[in-house]
Amino acid sequence: MEPIWKKHWPASVDERSIRLPEETLPAVLEQQARRVPDRAAIVFYGREVTFAELHDSVSRFAGWLQSRGIRAGDRVAIFLENCPQFAIAYYGALRAGAIVVCLNPMHKAVELQHEFQDSGARVLVTSDQLYGIVEPIRAGTPLEVVVVTAYRDFLPVEPTLPPPASFLEPAIHHPGTEAFLAVVRTAPPLKAPVQRSLSDTALLQYTSGTTGTAKAAEITHRNLVANCELQYAYVGGADDEVALGVLPWFHITGMECQMNAMAYRGATLVTIGRFDLVTVLRAIERYRCTLTTLIATVNVAIVNFPRTREFDLSSLRRCFSGGAPVPPEVATRWEKITGHKLIEGYGLSETTAPTHVNPPDRPKYGTVGLPLPLTDVRIVKLDDPGTEVRPGERGEIAVKGPQVMKGYWKRPQATAEAFHDGYFLTGDIGVVDEEGYFSIVERKKDMLKVSGYSVFPAEVEAILYRHPAVAEVGVVGVPDPYRGEDPVAFVVLRPEAKGKVGEEEIAQWCRDEMAVYKAPRQVRFIDALPKTASGKILKRLLRDQARAQVAPQAR
């Protein structure tokens, strides 16, 4: 029997007619350069990089890599914020047959040291500013060559949007490095991509590392192009799309849903190097962006910003959101303020971004939507991944599909533990309703046990978002000798509520609005929630803070 969710796919979806690509991403980009050579691929604060120019730079960078001895399967690391240089290095490395390693530009020396050693990267592409973090540890890494660029190398003389101030700083020359601009201007181009199988590894995508040591998901060439095709087959789109690229490209959502979608679809990507709320709104208005993918924290920032209504966002046809569940209250406010429905999806680094997306014509707030075509999903018992639970029951989400990674890099034991019966065990607790819409309840490791009851912080957060004084909230657990754990809520107040509402007042509201065992007995006001570069709330840091400051009366 066919899964119930297929009945609720968009009417245009014909799963039987879907043909996954036989070409790798750099080959697809070359096709786009022939098809729409003069179309802007990337617009970077007003600087337009056409598909022809992008492909030429990619080919030259690939040729340069080959001249430096880089062969199929060697690793090339990228340590940059969003910019045209990131895309050139990414597709150039793939064209040369290398494996790309995308590194978080917020990482410090210790984190980088681990990822350089673990990946064995021979080449690094970074900015003149970020190289200061790399230089002291370079001798202790496998790096043989470092290529340095300045963000201003690809900025126009008169930007149409305000770049981050650091992007305008004079370039810094670092001895012992090579200039990126010289490479892409003078290196002989690599005429044809190095042949790689679709099952070969294309990308080492490090998990966020919020707990323990970061490990890399091995993403194949098939994973990259398959998920691009599945998203396109599911949500559709016109040839003249203009996307807003604000999510960081080192992270799988921004990389796959924005940068790679640009190359795969031949669409224009208006690129923001670093998130700034007003710049994002101005970009949509100025360039008439037709779609974008955001994350929950950006959605919250936009709906809480008093000036959002001043900007013309009418060009947007579709607004997607991923990275973390969006509370229904936030989605409803988003639609009221912007005039567009929020289309939530779900995926992980290990699944090359989305496995689920709400149908654009029928999104159901509070859910992450339906599995994409050619994707099979189960919800299994937390302690028995071989047993499925019934609709409406909570369990762990398990996924099988052409977008799922081949495993963890050099981690056979971790790989074996992550799969059961061919399904990837996501570690996320979810539930599916009678129409096949999935909801994410919580990360498996984040679930709390309070007096024997299961408490899911995301559920508590969703209720707290209904309070008119709450702008953002993160809920974590602290040990309690009697109850096992106690929920603690860290709350960022809306500006107009500061000084007018107290912590105990919100704690009492919680007791009135939810079961007593779920209600945080402690509410702590905080100026800002700690977040990763991709915008996810760092629950580990909140837990550390909560446990260090457990109120005596709550012990």
- 248's torsion region: left (phi>0), alpha (psi -120 to 50) or beta? beta
Is there a common fold for 4-16+26-432 and 447-554?
no
Coil, helix or strand at residue 112: helix
Q: Which residue has the tokens 């190359």?
A: 263
Predicted local distance difference test score (pLDDT) of residue 211: 38
pLDDT, one tens digit per residue, over 71-128 is 999 999 999 999 999 999 999 999 999 999 999 888 888 889 989 999 999 999 999 9
Whether pLDDT at 384 is above 90:
yes
Average pLDDT of the chain is: 93
Helix (H, G, I), strand (E, B) or coil at 70: coil
Instruction: Give the residue extent of every domain in the chain.
Output: 4-16+26-432, 447-554
For residues 339 and 393, the model is more confident at 393
Q: Give bridge partners of residue 263 from the DSSP assignment.
A: none
Q: Which range has the worst mean pLDDT, 5-19, 109-123, 183-197, 447-461?
A: 447-461
Right CATH for 447-554 from 3.40.190.170, 3.40.50.720, 3.40.920.10, 3.30.300.30: 3.30.300.30
- Give the span between the Cα atoms of 144 and 545, in whole angstroms: 40
* Residue pair 129/169 in contact by the 8 Å Cβ criterion: yes
**Residues 150, 174: contact at Cβ < 8 Å?**
no
DSSP letters of 126-188?
A: EETTTHHHHGGGGGGSS--EEEEE-GGGGS-SS-SS---GGGGSPP---TT-EEHHHHHHHSP
Check residue 229 and give its pLDDT.
Answer: 98
3-class DSSP assignment, residue 111: helix
Q: What is the pLDDT of residue 550?
A: 64
Q: Which of 84, 168, 172, 164 is nearest to 132 (CA)?
A: 172
Whether residue 57 has pLDDT greater than 60: yes
pLDDT of residue 297: 78
**Which pLDDT does position 482 carry in this prediction?**
66
Mean pLDDT, residues 277-286 taken together: 97
Q: Exposed (0-12), middle (13-18) or buried (19+): which is 464, by Cβ within 10 Å?
A: buried
CATH 3.50.50.60 fits 4-16+26-432, yes or no: no
Instruction: Give the model's pLDDT for residue 208.
Output: 53
Candidate from 4-8, 347-351, 396-400, 513-517 with smallest mean pLDDT: 513-517
How large is the C-alpha radius of gyration of the chain? 23
Q: How far apart are CA 4 and CA 433, in angstroms?
A: 10
Question: How confident is the model over 499-507, as a mean pLDDT?
Answer: 95
